[in-house]
Structure 1
Amino acid sequence: MDIYLPIANISVNALVIIGLGGLVGLLSGMFGVGGGFLTTPLLIFYGIPPTVAAASAASQVTGASISGVFAHVRRNGVDFHMGIVLVVGGLIGSFLGAGIFRLLQETGQIDTAIGLLYVVMLGGIGGLMAKESLSAIKAMRTGTTLQVKKRRHHPLVAALPMRWRFYRSGLYISPLAPLILGAVTGILTMILGVGGGFIMVPAMLYLLGMPTQVVVGTSLFQILFVTMGATMIHATTTKAVDIVLAALLLIGSVTGAQYGARFAMKMKPEYLRLLLALMVLLVAIRMALGLGWRPDEIYSVALS
């Protein structure tokens, strides 16, 4: 069932796009990640232009984050004070990211930049996740106990001026730290179409020192508003959001997330993390190969 994507300017099989969204939703339900960092590469592999893939993936992440935020609000798992600071930083970063995105578009380097950033980020994150998962599996099999480090905010965070109290997180730190963290995530959201949770969550745990019970909910709160803002900025500036593509992805991801949550309850978390790490590394390798492969047709003719 072919359908025309007006912004991407190509025809695609709607069932394939829904299937890709379903796969990302399945991973989201299984591993507790937003899935935006896999949506863009998968769309690029299918043939969607990287600019449209990144912009449309951000809108899909917005829709997928709504239910998660409400669920955590009901469990009192959101630090709204911290979340608002992160959102402000994220919106600032979104405007900065829009400028970078347009600059790369004008110089013709946006596709290469997206590919390189994904290779570096997914390769690094996948490697760290694989190392941590293998250590946990080894400890589980040998019966040893891994030493858990006490979480406390980073010394650089402690050195920042103008401290505020974040009561829900039990922190007394400078708001500049979450503001900068939010801005970095906003830039990545604009350029790569990711929600940023795979960077935000570790940073909130190990840099800001937030307790685990409020990290995921607060991260989703920030992701919801920043991806919403990023989508609006993309729609009004870069004109790269394909609403048809985003809608098809959302249909698949909402359905896939339900099944992913069921599968997650049947597998041990150590093996789940290792499986996710391997998938992230495979995507990074495929992106790296795509950057180095010589295309079948070096030149193409297109109507302007």
Structure 2
Amino acid sequence: MDIFLPIARMPISIFAILGMGGLVGLLSGLFGVGGGFLLTPLLMWMGIPPAVAVASDTNQIVAASVSGTIAHSRNKNVDFKLGFIILVGSLVGGSFGTSLVKVLQSLGNFDFVLKSTYVVMLLAVGTFMLIESINSLRKKSKKDTGTPKDSAAMRFMNKLPIKMHFEVSGIDCSVISLFILGLLIGVLAALMGVGGGFIMLPVMIYLLGMPTIKAVGTSVFVIIFTAINVTMAQSSLNHTVDVVLAIVLLIGSSIGAQVGAKIGKKLPAEQLRVLFSVIVLAVMAKMLVSLVVAPTSLISLGGGH
């Protein structure tokens, strides 16, 4: 059964969209990510224009994140105090990122910049998490707290000024570092159509020292408002939000997020991080192939329309 997408101007299978929404919702509840890092490439592979894919899937991210936050808050795994500080930075970054998208579209190189950024970010995050998680599994520690060993980067973050104590996460952290993290997440949300969880989650775990399950719950909370901010900005400034596509994705993701949160409670922290890193690297590999195989379709030398 096909439906017509008015902004994308193409027919598409409603079951395929529901399935993608459900899959990404599952990832949201399981890993504390919005799922846009996976959904945006999937939508583009199905022929949906990149600008429409980026803008429309942020609606789905809202639904998946709300559903995931409710599930995680029931288990007291959401640090609202820490999340709010990151949120302030993400709102500022999201507004800047949306304006950047408009500039790139006018230059005609948005597709190339989007896919190149995806490859670099996914490669860096996926490789780091996979190596660290495998090393942790090899050590076979008697007790898995879900918190990686203290690192030089973590010690540096702890030295930054304006520190606060966060009871839920059990850490002391600089407000400045949280705000900067939020700025980065906001820009990525606007530029790449993601909630920023695939960056936020490893930063929370490896640089802030948060327990994995607390990082997952707090991440989905922040993503709610980051995605709402970007969706509103994309709709008013760039007019690329396809409401029909967004609604179908939203239905599937709401269901998937609840299932993911339940599964996530039962998996050990290291196994959760290994699984997440493998998925990230798989998406990166597919994006890299698309860049190498058909580069001529990605760069426009003339102005955009």
Kindly state the Cα deviation for residue 255 of structure 1 after the two structures are TM-superposed: 3.2
The residue that corresponds to 1:242 in the other structure is 242
Deviations 1:153-188 (A, max 9, x none): 834434433444444445554321111110100000
Match of 1:113 in 2: 113
1:37–1:167: structure 2 CA closer, same or farther, 3 Å change rule? same
- Give 2:248's aligned amino acid: L
Gaps of 5+ in 2: 300-304
Match of 2:186 in 1: 186
Compute the TM-score of the two structures, normalised by the length of structure 1.
0.84
2:205, 2:212 within 8 Å by CA — same for their partners in 1? yes
- Shift of the 34–162 alpha-carbon distance from structure 1 to 2, 3 Å rule, reads closer
Aligned residue number for residue 222 of structure 1: 222
Closer, same or farther: CA 30–123 of 1 in aligned 2, 3 Å: same
Residue 3 of structure 1 aligns to a residue whose secondary structure is: strand
Q: 1:264 to 1:213 in 2, by over 3 A?
A: closer
SS of the aligned residue for 1:154 comes to helix
Structure 1 residue 255 corresponds to structure 2 residue 267: no
| Amino acid paired to 1:21 | G
Alignment partners' CA distance in 2, 1:183 and 1:298: 28
Name the larger-Rg structure: 1
Q: TM-score, normalised by structure 2?
A: 0.84
Which shifted more, 36-45 or 193-202? 193-202
Identical pairs, percent: 44
The farther-off stretch of 208-217 and 233-242 is: 208-217
What is the number of residues matched between the two proteins? 299
Rate the CA distance shift 1:197–1:2 in 2: closer, same or farther, 3 A: same
Q: Secondary structure at the match of 1:223?
A: helix
Which residue pairs with 1:18 in the alignment? 18
1:26-79 alpha-carbon deviations (Å, 9 max, x no partner):
444555543221011111111111111111111111111112222333333333
Deviations 1:231-261 (CA, angstroms, capped at 9, x unpaired): 1111111111111111111222233345556
Task: Name the aligned partner's letter for residue 77 of structure 2.
Answer: G
> Shift of residue 152 of structure 1?
9.0
Q: Is the 8 A contact 2:90 2:226 kept in 1?
A: yes
Q: Deviations over 1:248-289 (max 9, x none)?
A: 112222333455567668877656644443332222111111
- Map of 1:18-57 to 2, 5 A cutoff? 18-57=18-57
Structure 2: how far apart are the matches of 1:298 and 1:132? 34
Equivalent in the alignment of 1:286: 286
